Amino acid sequence: MFILDAHLDLAMNALEWNRDLTWPLERIRRWELNKTDTKDRGNNTVCFPEMRRANVGLCVATQIARHAPYFHRLPGWNSPAQAWAQTQGQLAWYRAMEEAGELVSIRTRTQLDQHFNLWSKSPPLDDGTPYVVYSRKQAARLPIGYILSLEGADSMITLGHVERSYADGLRAIGPAHYGTGVYAHGTDASGPLTAKGRELLKEMDRLGMILDTTHLCDEAFWEALDIFKGPLWASHQNCRVLAPWNRQFADDQIRAVIERGGVLGMAFDAIMMVPGWVHNKSKPADFQLKIERICDHIDHICQLAGNARHVGIGTDLDGGFGTEQTPMDLNSIYDLQSIPALLRKRGYKVGDLEDIMHGNFLSFLRKHLPA
C-alpha cells in the first residue's frame, strides 16, 4: 500500500548524523558500528532504498535548528542567525538530492497529484522497488516526493525570512520544539505564545501555510488555535491517554484538531506509545512493545472522530532515536506495511486503511496546498 509519512527528519540525519541516505540500510549500520556519539548509532531505520521498498513515495520532510541562548538547558545554536544558516544547509541538501533524482519537491496541488499518479501507475520490479519506465530500454528509479516543513521556528530571524522560505517551498511550520522557543513554548515547557509567535501565526495565515501543532505546550496550543485561522495538522502526535506525558495530546486537543479538519500522524517513538517509559533506561522488550500498539492510538483517534478520516502516519523514525526506541518488530520503515493487516483484524475496511496509510494527509494537502 502507498504510504505518506508526515514526519521525517531526512536532512537532519544527512547533515548532523552524517548518514548518506542513498546507501542501503545495512551499509549505514555497518559504517556506524563503532560510533558512540549518539545512542542510536547503528540502529537507523530510514534510507531512500528502504523508503522505496516500503512504498513510502511521499513524505513531509523537515528543516530543524533550535536557538539555545546562553542559559538554555537544551542543545542548539547560540543565535537565530546560526540556526537559520543550519536550516539553509539542510535546504541545500534537499536540493542536491533533487538534482540526483532521489527526491522531488512538492509545492502545489498539481505537483502532488502528478507525483501520486506517477507512483500509483508505475509497476514494481521483482524486488518491489517502483520504477518509472520511459521506454523498453530506459528506466529510472522513482523520486520520493517531499513537502518541506520547519520543526520549531527559532531559525526564522524575521517574518521576512518566513516569506522567503515559503518561496523556497516551505509549506508547514511548527512554532515550537522542546523547551522554551523564540516563538512558543514547546514540550516540557509551559506558557503562552510569545509576541513574536502571535505575529508568526498571522504571517503564516497571510501566506496560506499549514500550522503544525505538534510540540506546542497546552497553553500555547489553545492560544494558537484561537489566533490561527488557516489549515492545521499534528504531523507526529500520539494520544496522552495511552502514553501519559505532555508530549502527547489530551483528548480535548485531539478533538480540536479534528474539528478544524486536521489530521494527526502516528509516531513510532516508544516513549510516545506506552506509559512508563524511562528515557535512556527503558527498552522495547521491557514492554513487549510491538507495532500493533500504534493501532491502539489509531483506534482511539478514530473513536473520538467517529470515523477514520483524521489519523495518518507520521513516524518520526530516526528523529534522534533508532531501533533501541521503536517496537521490537520494526527493523526499518518497510515494516509500516504490517499496519494494514493489523487494522484489518480490528474490523477496518480497505477504504479506511487507504485513508490512514496515505489518503487523509493526501486529501488535506490537496485541499490546502496552492493550486
Rounded distance between C-alpha atoms, residue 352 and residue 303, angstroms: 13
pLDDT tens, N- to C-terminus, the chain (371 residues): 999 999 999 999 999 999 999 999 999 999 999 999 999 999 999 999 999 999 999 999 999 999 998 888 899 999 999 999 999 999 999 999 999 999 999 999 999 999 999 999 876 554 555 544 443 333 458 999 999 999 999 999 999 999 999 999 999 999 999 999 999 999 999 999 999 999 999 999 999 999 999 999 999 999 999 999 999 999 999 999 999 999 999 999 999 999 999 999 999 999 999 999 999 999 999 999 999 999 999 999 999 999 999 999 999 999 999 999 999 999 999 999 999 999 999 999 999 999 999 999 999 999 999 99
Rounded distance between C-alpha atoms, residue 147 and residue 169, angstroms: 8
* Amino acid at the residue 138: Q
Q: What is the pTM of this model?
A: 0.95
Phi/psi for 195 (5° steps) reads: -60, -40
DSSP secondary structure string for all residues of 231-266? -EEBTT--BTTTS-STTSBPHHHHHHHHHTT--EEE
CATH code of the domain in which 228 resides: 3.20.20.140
Q: Find the domain containing 344 and state its range.
A: 3-368
CA angle 220, 222, 228 (to 5 degrees): 90
Q: How many domains does the chain have?
A: 1
Distant-in-sequence contacts of 122-128, Cβ < 8 A, 24+ apart? 127/53, 128/53, 128/55
Please give the C-alpha separations between residue 272 and each of 143, 252, 282, in angstroms, as whole numbers. Answer: 31, 18, 13
